[in-house]
Amino acid sequence: MRTISLAILWLCLGLSLDALCLHGRRTETAYGEGTEASIRGEKLLKRARRGWMWNQFFLQEEYTGSDYQYIGKLQSDQDQGNGLVKYVLSGEGAGTIFVIDENNGDLQATRRLDREEKGFYILRATVVNKRTGLKLEPETEFTVKLHDINDNEPHFSKELYTGSVPERSDIGTSVIQVTATDADDSMYGSSARLVYSISQGHPYFSVDPTTGVIRTALGPGDMDRELREHYQVVIEAKDMAGQRGGLTGTTAVNITLTDVNDNPPRFTQSIYQFRVPESAKSGTSVGRIVATDRDIGKNAEMFFTIVSGDGMDMFDIATDKDTQDGVISVGKPLDFEKKPSYTVEIQVQNTQVDPRFMSAGSKDMATVRIGVEDVDEPPLFYKASYLMEVKEDAAVGVAVGSVSAMDPDGARSMVKYSIDRRTDMDRLFNVHPGNGSVFLLRTLDREESAWHNISVTAMEFNNPRQSSHVPVYIQLLDINDNAPTFATIYETFVCERTKAGQRIQTVSAVDADEPSTGHKFFFSLAPEGTHRSNFTVRDNGDNTAGILTRRASYSRLHQSVYLVPVVITDGDYPMQSSTGTLTVRVCTCDREGNMELCNAEALSSSPGLSTGALIAILLCAIILLMIVVLFTALKRQRKQEPLIISKEDVRDNVVSYNDEGGGEEDTQAFDIGALRHPDAAAALEESAKQRRDIIPTDILLYPPHRRPAPATSGLIMPPVSMASQDNGNVCEFINQRVLENDCNPTAPPYDSLATYAYEGAGSVAESLSSLGSASSEGEQDYHYLSDWGPRFRKLADLYGADDSDFS
């Protein structure tokens, strides 16, 4: 596209007339250069000629007019003014923000624009034939830039700043830097040039107008944290380089003076007085002294020291980390009788000293007077512990040693001694209550216990509650009172065919004693074994001995076991000795001397049952035992149910046999004769009725005897038959058994009730039992049953009828 003319509204841009002329000249010059370049291009490249154009337009932001804002005019060489050319605009905001007159190429903005939102727009323009719609020239890209105006005030990055600076800082010490920004264009005019100033905070602080750095404005003497710690400063930022009409923004800055160690600690009083009892233990607090420091934190930390006085070695002082107080405590035991009061000088100073503000001598002093109070103290032993020695064979009553204590008070009360029996449960020792002498109550044995630790108590006679204790360690000194013995049970073997002087065993010994020079043992053959001895003993000189053979052959069949007595003697005084027996068994050996066969009693490792076989045999025996127990249990379960079903109430226990029997002729089931002659059967049954698990100690109160029938007068009894006489015997037999069970406590069972159903001899109907029917062949009169009432009348008719009545 060839640009023929470019009309721009320079008045809207605020440019001078000179600038307009200058741009006009540049346009013409550019056009000429473009024309020549186009001609050269046509010759060389043979392409269409194009006119050079401006590729940048300017537009002022924040336009407030009601009409469209005119930007400029575009015109093509192809536009001959005949109305056949159409201008087309595309790119950012084309058709909405920017519009172009398609007939004459005028470019306008349709609305108000803000540079801070978007500073420039890139557009493209071309011309097309209205009739054919074909492009007459390629698109040309140009830019529309917005000129800035001062429409934004400065803004700080924070609404509130916080800063700090040490107190007593020099003038000009940097505190904090504040920063403000302006959204206007810093490349155009002074809209974005900011100037800082302080509107609140004089005369303590100042601000650099260009950088925004806040600095101290007063000297060290005026910036004291102890006088004022917090400050608030208001900073103002103004654009247009601070000129009139510029916009401003403000922010607040809170500044704190940090502490430095510029104040030494000071005691709240110059003299302190305390009192402490003489019984106070080491470390007991005596009192507190207070010092203050106007500084804070680590700068206020302090420490105390005792610098002089007669109590420097008796008392200590430390600093309480929480309160920074000086705590005085007892360092050594006090004694009112020796010294009743002390005076010390205490110094306080900071742990961290700042040499800029304080010298090393910035400290304070105070005087402390401490009085010691007298108390009744317990007896005091001369030693903290006692060590005593005694021989283990010392006799009862022998003194082991002595302890000594005294009352430290001025009264010097008498002291008596005793042993704390909790430390001497076996009561082996005792102490003399007056002089503290420790002596034996029982004999001692070092081999049982080599040391005995007891505690001796000393208490005042007048005040037994005042007592003290001291440990006493008693060591038992060893004497040679134990004979040496074999170190173990020795048992060895000898081959039937061997050679004389062959070593078959090496033995050693042990001794419970502990001689100072060490053990020394001597071995020899006992005198009773020297005569016709088959073996000899050779002492090796190193507390061991070898057992040697004296013959070349032994017979296992002749003698299978030899007992070799060996005498063992120690080398201490008094000399102790004992005899140990070595068992030697004769065995058959191979050529190499290895045992092959010995007697059964000689072989602990002889062939036999293995452990697995023994376990298998044991399991089989257990299984057989379980089978026997199970069989016995099953056999018991097959027994008949007990006759007595219910055992809850003895009165309801009725023995029921449920056996009808075979009648009077069945003598196998029931012996009727026993009931007819109870005297004859009594002797046979007497042994059977006694309990086997209880030996009877009580005799029957009433021996068995025949009682006469009770006499009756005024009654007409029926004739007594043999059956009636037998019934009387039965009655007497039953009564006798009832009496025996009632009077004999050993009669079984205790929880059963034996019921004997017998109507009695005085019954008119006599006995209804059939037991007497076998001995009665005569006719019986049953008509008397009619007199018993309607219930028995039918029975009387049946029994009283003749046999002919039923035929």
759 pLDDT band, cuts 50/70/90, is low
Q: What does pLDDT average to over the chain?
A: 78
DSSP 293-324: -SS-GGGG-EEEEEEEETTTTTEEEEE-TTT-
Find the range with the poorest average confidence among 178-182, 544-548, 671-675. Answer: 671-675
* Tens digits of residue pLDDT in 374-423: 888 889 999 999 999 999 999 999 999 999 999 888 778 899 999 999 99
Does 53 have pLDDT greater than 90? Answer: no
Supply the pLDDT for residue 8.
34
DSSP 456-490: EEEEESS-TTSEEEEEEEEEEEP-S-S--EESS--
* Tens digits of residue pLDDT in 454-511: 999 999 988 888 899 999 999 999 998 899 999 999 999 999 888 889 999 999 999 9
758 pLDDT band, cuts 50/70/90, is low
Contact 154, 140 (CB under 8 A): no
Q: What is the mean pLDDT of residues 640-669?
A: 51
- More confident of the two residues 624 and 112: 624
DSSP 485-532: EESS--EEEEESB--TT-EEEEEEEE-S---TT---EEEEE-HHHHTT
Supply the pLDDT for residue 190.
77
* Tens digits of residue pLDDT in 771-789: 555 444 456 667 677 777 7
Find the range with the poorest average confidence among 320-324, 516-520, 529-533, 657-661. Answer: 657-661
* Tens digits of residue pLDDT in 508-522: 999 998 888 888 999
With CA atoms as reference, report the closest residue to 397 among 440, 455, 360, 363.
Answer: 440
Q: What is the mean pLDDT of residues 311-327?
A: 93
Whole-number percent of the chain with pLDDT over 70: 74
Q: What is the mean pLDDT of residues 38-42?
A: 37
Q: Which helix (H) or strand (E) holds 545?
A: strand 544-549
Rg (CA), the chain: 69
Supply the pLDDT for residue 430.
96
705 pLDDT band, cuts 50/70/90, is very low
Q: What is the mean pLDDT of residues 127-150?
A: 84
Q: What is the mean pLDDT of residues 714-731?
A: 52
Q: What is the mean pLDDT of residues 125-153?
A: 84
Q: What is the mean pLDDT of residues 345-359?
A: 85
- More confident of the two residues 291 and 683: 291
Q: What is the mean pLDDT of residues 276-287?
A: 92
- More confident of the two residues 768 and 510: 510
Supply the pLDDT for residue 343.
95
Does 1 have pLDDT greater than 90? Answer: no
665 pLDDT band, cuts 50/70/90, is low
Does 753 have pLDDT greater than 90? Answer: no
The residues that bridge with 195 in the sheet, in sequence order, are: 238
Q: What is the mean pLDDT of residues 24-50?
A: 37
Does 657 have pLDDT greater than 90? Answer: no
Supply the pLDDT for residue 326.
95
Q: What is the mean pLDDT of residues 356-376?
A: 85
What is the Cα–Cα distance from 312 to 297, expressed in whole angstroms?
30
Find the range with the poorest average confidence among 153-167, 390-404, 651-665. Answer: 651-665
Does 666 have pLDDT greater than 70? Answer: no
Does 807 have pLDDT greater than 80? Answer: no
Token pair 């205790």 is found at: 750
Q: What is the mean pLDDT of residues 628-652?
A: 65
Which DSSP category does 723 fall into? H
Does 48 have pLDDT greater than 90? Answer: no
Q: What is the mean pLDDT of residues 290-301?
A: 91
3-class secondary structure, 14: coil
* Tens digits of residue pLDDT in 531-578: 778 899 999 999 999 999 998 888 888 888 999 999 999 988 889 999
Which DSSP category does 789 fall into? -
* Tens digits of residue pLDDT in 581-615: 999 999 999 888 888 888 654 444 444 556 777 88
Supply the pLDDT for residue 32.
35
With CA atoms as reference, report the closest residue to 86 among 122, 120, 133, 40.
Answer: 133
Supply the pLDDT for residue 111.
84
- More confident of the two residues 106 and 651: 106
Supply the pLDDT for residue 703.
45
* Tens digits of residue pLDDT in 244-265: 878 899 999 999 999 998 889 9
Supply the pLDDT for residue 20.
31
Q: What is the mean pLDDT of residues 675-691?
A: 51
* Tens digits of residue pLDDT in 211-239: 999 999 998 888 899 899 999 999 999 98
Strand 535-539's sheet: what is its strand order?
A: 485-486, 503-510, 544-549, 535-539
Supply the pLDDT for residue 528.
80
* Tens digits of residue pLDDT in 73-90: 887 878 777 878 888 898
Q: Could you tell me the pTM of the whole model? A: 0.42
Q: Which helix (H) or strand (E) holds 40?
A: helix 17-44
* Tens digits of residue pLDDT in 91-126: 888 888 888 888 888 888 888 887 778 888 898 888
- More confident of the two residues 255 and 183: 255
- More confident of the two residues 176 and 720: 176
17 pLDDT band, cuts 50/70/90, is very low
Does 140 have pLDDT greater than 80? Answer: yes
What is the Cα–Cα distance from 69 to 54, expressed in whole angstroms?
19
